[in-house]
Chains A and B, each alone.
Chain A
Amino acid sequence: MQDIHSETFLRMLMRRQLRLSLFCAAAFLTVLLGLPLANYFLPALMATRVFGFTLSWFLLGVLFFPFVWTLAWIFIRRSLALEREEARMARHED
């Protein structure tokens, strides 16, 4: 029996959503904060030319946007699925 006002339900709710958010944030931050590090320690590699851009410019100025869109898309799909599942669980238990 799972009451939606119970401590266990709230805990499960928050933990599942937060885990998903943190997972996506970690992927985002690794790339976002890794890029300056790559620029710092591998300047020669990051200055290689790709289609005329430097590699670093291409990653940041062009590829970064689709990367973030993909993350956002994955997050929304997963998070809406979680919500549906939670709602189903709560209704069943009522």
Chain B
Amino acid sequence: MKIDFWVLAFSAVTVVVTIALGFWSAKRSKTAGDFFVAGRAVSVGWNASAISGEYLSAASFMGVAGMVMSSGYDALWYPVCYACGYLFLLLFIAGPLRRFGAYTIPDFAEGRFDSPLFRKIAVVFVLFIGFFYTMPQMKGAGTTLAYIFPGLPYGAGVVLVGAVITLNVALGGMKAVTLVQAFQYWAKMFAISVPVFVLMSVFGHYGRQLEANAPAGPAAVEAVAREPLPERAPADEVWIAPFGPLTTKAAKAAGLPPEQSRPYALLYTYSLIIALVCGTAGLPHILVRFYTNPDGVAAKRTTMWVMILIGVFYLFPPVFGVLGRNRMPELYNGLSGVQGTDGVVLKLPLILAEQHGIVGSVLSGITCAGAFAAFMSTFSGLLVSITGALAHDIYGRMLRPRSGPRERMRMFQYCAVLCGGCAILLGFLVETFEINKLVGWAFAIAATSYFPLLFLSTWWRNITMQGAACGMLVGGTLSLAAIASTMLADQAPWAGGLAAWYRTHPLARTLAEQPAIWALPLAILLMLAVSRLTRRDVPADIRMKMLVLHAPEALGLKQEYIEEHVSNAGTGST
């Protein structure tokens, strides 16, 4: 495939606009508050677009369509739960967290429990989840760029995306990133919706496309045309029905008949739902954005708009998956990643080229540009959150608590360059990893560590630092270990014994692959039990803390952690 002019043009425009917006807003980012929380004055509309832009990563833009194409109905849970997880965030966490006024999760951890130690534990988790989420973005950038421009090495995309975003973050911090991400949300929305509408108007709409996926019968006669499916593609009745190839993998490996594999599939589905819904409510780089809202009321309104913006977006990738199955089934034969079904968003518009000439190339250029926007916006959010953790929590709170706002701002810039460099290096290491799996890991870890922590410390006054830390560490590490064990069993040659054991124990395999269903209750139980045992350590001013979390802003109890002139230590009640 030669380099397409339109693909090059649209991708270049996205990158150039991103850099330009970064420079433009860098001139307006003057204070530490601008860098860390965008001056805490981002309007609801901008913030909702920016949060949505940050959230819709490569996994959403390309991965969801690819998964729907390869796994059918079961993969629908991903877009639905990605979008609906925000409801949990809205119901239980968004308002109180913003009111507490902490800047980062570690701030919240320390302020809520009066424990500097807990801040350290929380920082480690932020860095861990952040880098975990970063690796797949880097890998996506590398493979996509190498696919779009054949001949470029894998590293080129990693370096390009890494360098552009590091520059933006170092120049303008959160304020610059907010603007860029808001732009990138609308770029992605445009890039996914326009091709879908054009394709549907040419080949038949969403429902008619799905109608074609039925066992041959009278209905199939007037259904839309479709290409013959290759052998590697799942059959229609398995693909369109629940409990298909994605959720029954463990049972199939054990050689169980379809009827007996259904309970495992149900279990897998539930665990997946829990991980995605609770994980969304516990991702540090999403939570940090809530502090850019002026107050708790705006935080709630923003969440509502985020749900709408993201929900509308997520209607489209599954359509790509269905269209891809009907019109471009040869992708099933491709290797993993962009070569296979994950590339459907980038490649499908090209089928228009035969009949409509240039339209196909233009649309394909648009989706490629959308993919670029996806890597860049998610990575910029991650970089801000990691950098914030380093510059604010480690430097500003632990190493040099007396540093002034100016020094912290400088430090933010150095840390951005440092973290961006690390992310690029990590990107080189993960060339052979599967993208969606890594994002899934980050969700499972967030769901079993941060979510129970935030939920209980907002609503239960008797939780202690020991209880919270215990539940968070055990929940997070056990689910990480469980997922890692299945990956080792699949890929490492020396883990053959484990692989064989998993093959004969489909229940264990299912629970290890999707650990949220047992790890989340375990984390909550541990938090409850250990807090009960250490009840003497409940902070003395707990009533004040709960009041700050829950009282309406109108009463004037809110506290702020990042201030322009004074750097206040500790929590200090109003």
Chain A positions within 8 Å of B, measured between CB atoms, are 4-5, 7, 9-10, 13-14, 17-18, 21, 24-25, 28, 32-33, 36-37, 39-40, 43, 46-47, 49, 51-54, 56-57, 60-62, 64-65, 68-69, 71-73, 75-76, 79-80, 83-84, 86-87, 90-91
Instruction: Give the residue name and chain of the A residue nearest to B219 (CB).
Output: A49
- Is the Cβ of B551 less than 8 Å from the Cβ of A13? yes
B543's contact among A7, A18, A80, A86, by CB below 8 Å, is which? Answer: A7
Given that A13-B551, A84-B552 are contacting pairs, would A68 and B87 also be in contact in the complex, using a CB cutoff of 8 Å?
yes
Q: A65 to B90, alpha carbons, bound, how many Å?
A: 15
* B277, chain A: closest CB distance, angstroms: 7
Q: Using a Cβ–Cβ cut-off of 8 Å, how many residues does chain B contribute to the interface with A?
A: 56
- Is the Cβ of A68 less than 8 Å from the Cβ of B73? no
19 more CB-based (< 8 A) A-B contacts, given A7-B543, A52-B211, A75-B90: A4-B551, A5-B547, A24-B87, A25-B88, A39-B242, A43-B241, A46-B242, A49-B211, A54-B73, A54-B210, A54-B240, A54-B241, A56-B241, A65-B311, A65-B315, A72-B86, A72-B303, A72-B307, A83-B297
Q: Is B80 an interface residue when CB atoms closer than 8 A count as contact? A: yes
Given that A68-B84, A83-B554, A87-B554 are contacting pairs, would A25 and B308 also be in contact in the complex, using a CB cutoff of 8 Å?
no
* A88, chain B: closest CB distance, angstroms: 9
- Is the Cβ of B80 less than 8 Å from the Cβ of A4? no
Q: A51 to B209, alpha carbons, bound, how many Å?
A: 10
* B494, chain A: closest CB distance, angstroms: 37
Q: A14 to B311, alpha carbons, bound, how many Å?
A: 30
- Is the Cβ of A18 less than 8 Å from the Cβ of B459? yes
- Is the Cβ of A65 less than 8 Å from the Cβ of B242? no
Stretch among B262-270, B374-382, B463-471 lining the A interface: B262-270
* B256, chain A: closest CB distance, angstroms: 16
A64's contact among B80, B91, B550, by CB below 8 Å, is which? Answer: B80
Binary interface encoding of chain B residues 299-334 relative to chain A, with 1 for a CB under 8 A from any of its CBs, else 0: 011011001100110110010000000000000000
Q: Tell me what chain A mostly uses at the interface: helix, strand, loop, or mixed.
A: helix
Residues of B within 8 A of A72 (CB): 86-87, 90, 303-304, 307
* B160, chain A: closest CB distance, angstroms: 34
Which 3 residue pairs of A and B lie closest in terms of their CB atoms, listed nearest first? A52-B207, A52-B211, A87-B554
- Is the Cβ of A32 less than 8 Å from the Cβ of B84? yes
A65's contact among B83, B210, B269, by CB below 8 Å, is which? Answer: B83
B266's contact among A17, A36, A75, by CB below 8 Å, is which? Answer: A36
Residues of B within 8 A of A13 (CB): 547, 550-551
Residues of B within 8 A of A10 (CB): 543, 546-547, 550
Residues of A within 8 A of B200 (CB): none
Residues of A within 8 A of B210 (CB): 52-54, 57
Q: Is B198 an interface residue when CB atoms closer than 8 A count as contact? A: no
Instruction: Give the residue name and chain of the B residue nearest to A86 (CB).
Output: B552
Task: List the count of A-B residue pairs having beta carbons below 8 Å apart.
Answer: 136
Q: What are 21 sample pairs from A and B whose C-beta atoms fall under 8 A apart?
A: A13-B550, A17-B550, A21-B92, A24-B91, A33-B270, A36-B266, A40-B242, A40-B266, A43-B242, A52-B207, A52-B210, A56-B73, A57-B76, A60-B77, A61-B79, A65-B311, A69-B308, A72-B86, A80-B300, A84-B554, A86-B551
- Is the Cβ of B73 less than 8 Å from the Cβ of A57? yes
Residues of A within 8 A of B301 (CB): 76
- Is the Cβ of B87 less than 8 Å from the Cβ of A79? no
Binary interface encoding of chain B residues 232-243 relative to chain A, with 1 for a CB under 8 A from any of its CBs, else 0: 000000001111
Considering the complex, which residues of chain B in the window 249-284 have a beta carbon less than 8 Å from any beta carbon of chain A?
Answer: 262, 266, 269-270, 273, 277
A71's contact among B73, B76, B87, B459, by CB below 8 Å, is which? Answer: B87
Residues of B within 8 A of A57 (CB): 73, 76, 210, 240
Q: A86 to B91, alpha carbons, bound, how many Å?
A: 18
* B365, chain A: closest CB distance, angstroms: 27
Residues of B within 8 A of A65 (CB): 80, 83, 311-312, 314-315
- Is the Cβ of B242 less than 8 Å from the Cβ of A36? yes
- Is the Cβ of B300 less than 8 Å from the Cβ of A79? yes
- Is the Cβ of A36 less than 8 Å from the Cβ of B270? yes
* A40, chain B: closest CB distance, angstroms: 5
- Is the Cβ of A90 less than 8 Å from the Cβ of B555? yes
Considering the complex, which residues of chain B in the window 66-96 have a beta carbon less than 8 Å from any beta carbon of chain A?
Answer: 73, 76-77, 79-80, 83-84, 86-88, 90-92, 95
Q: A83 to B300, alpha carbons, bound, how many Å?
A: 12
Residues of A within 8 A of B262 (CB): 40
Residues of B within 8 A of A14 (CB): 459, 546, 550
Instruction: Give the residue name and chain of the A residue nearest to B311 (CB).
Output: A65
Q: Is B208 an interface residue when CB atoms closer than 8 A count as contact? A: yes
Residues of B within 8 A of A32 (CB): 84, 273, 277
- Is the Cβ of B242 less than 8 Å from the Cβ of A56? yes
* A6, chain B: closest CB distance, angstroms: 9
- Is the Cβ of A87 less than 8 Å from the Cβ of B552? yes
Residues of B within 8 A of A61 (CB): 76, 79-80, 315, 318
Given that A36-B266, A69-B307 are contacting pairs, would A83 and B552 also be in contact in the complex, using a CB cutoff of 8 Å?
yes
A25's contact among B91, B270, B300, B303, by CB below 8 Å, is which? Answer: B91
